[in-house]
Amino acid sequence: MDWRALCRDGARVLDLGCGAVWLTGMLTRKPHIGEVVAWDSSPRLIREMLPATVELVEGDIDRVEPVCGEFVPLLVADGSVDLVVISSAFHLAERPRELLDELRRVLAPGGRLVLLNETPWSRLAMLTFTMRTSAAALLNLLGRRALLARPGHLAADHALYDPQLGDRAMTLPQWRALAARCGWSLEQIDTGLPPYRPQYRARGRLEPNLSHFVLQPSTRR
């Protein structure tokens, strides 16, 4: 990502769902970024891993503000953040519309939201999930007892394919529709990379490339 083009000099950046804070550490190395708010729901990650990880990537711990909190509500003042980054985490949000509304509120004029490492499903992948899930539900309904256990559920605007982790999937049109409903414009950047490293597991036939999304508040709401 061209971080220099995404935010002004002295920018205040919110790394929401920062996890092991690799991105936080790397962002503090950018001379034009003034402060990074490292926000995560895990006290252990914020307390124990943040200092060590920032040091490991040769970042500047003095430019990090650690915060332990949930996605919503965001206890951040209106218009106080120049850039929000969410890496590999937005698809875990239980209330994505409410989160997008909160992010609009905290962004300063001209601010942007960057969603890193998301995997918009193809229509074929969503159709396959829909058919398999619906078939299992129908067979269990018609049978005398439930025989088919299939995790996840299907909604009109997303698929919850891993209930244990809370992983949700959307097609690219569904991503765009969600953004538009919440007053955002959305630009997709196709990285050309697989969703997982090959040494972790083989790529599925219908699995898409990793995508980054750059969102800006639109004038229409």
Q: Token pair of 7, please? A: 């935010």
Q: Under a CB-based contact definition with an 8 Å cutoff, are residues 210 and 197 in contact?
A: no
Confidence of residue 69 (pLDDT cuts 50, 70, 90): very high
**What local confidence, expressed as pLDDT, does residue 95 receive?**
94
Quick one: average pLDDT of 70-99?
95
Cα separation, 178 vs 188, whole angstroms: 14
| Predicted pLDDT of residue 142 | 80
Closest to 92 in 3D by CA, of 177, 156, 163: 163
Q: Which of 220, 27, 9 is nearest to 114 (CA)?
A: 27
Tens of pLDDT, residue by residue over 102-122, are 999 999 999 999 999 999 999
Strands 11-16 and 33-40: parallel
Class of domain 3-119+170-217: alpha beta
CB 4 within 8 A of CB 212: no
Buried b (16+ CB within 10 A) or exposed e, 81-98: bbbbbbbbbbbebeebee
* CA distances to 62, 110, 160, 217 from 103, in Å: 25, 13, 23, 9
Measured CA distances, 194 to 6, 48, 160 (Å) = 25, 31, 20
How far is Cα 71 from Cα 118, in angstroms, rounded to an integer?
17
Which residue is listed with tokens 């909604």?
155
User: What confidence tier does 148 reach under pLDDT thresholds 50, 70, 90?
Assistant: low
pLDDT attached to residue 136: 82
β-partners of residue 33 are 11
Closest C-alpha to 17, from 74, 57, 81 = 74
Q: pLDDT digit string (tens) for 160-217?
A: 988 888 899 999 999 999 999 999 999 999 999 888 777 777 777 778 889 999 999 9
Rounded percentage of the chain residues whose pLDDT exceeds 90: 73
Q: Please report, for the chain, the start and end positions of each structural domain, with discontinuous segments joined by +.
A: 3-119+170-217, 121-168
Is the pTM above the cut of 0.75?
yes
Q: Does the structure show a pLDDT above 90 at 135?
A: no
Position 127 pLDDT exceeds 70: yes
Q: Helix 172-181 vs helix 96-106: angle between axes, to the nearest 10 degrees?
A: 50
Rounded to whole angstroms, how far apart are CA atoms 187 and 176?
9
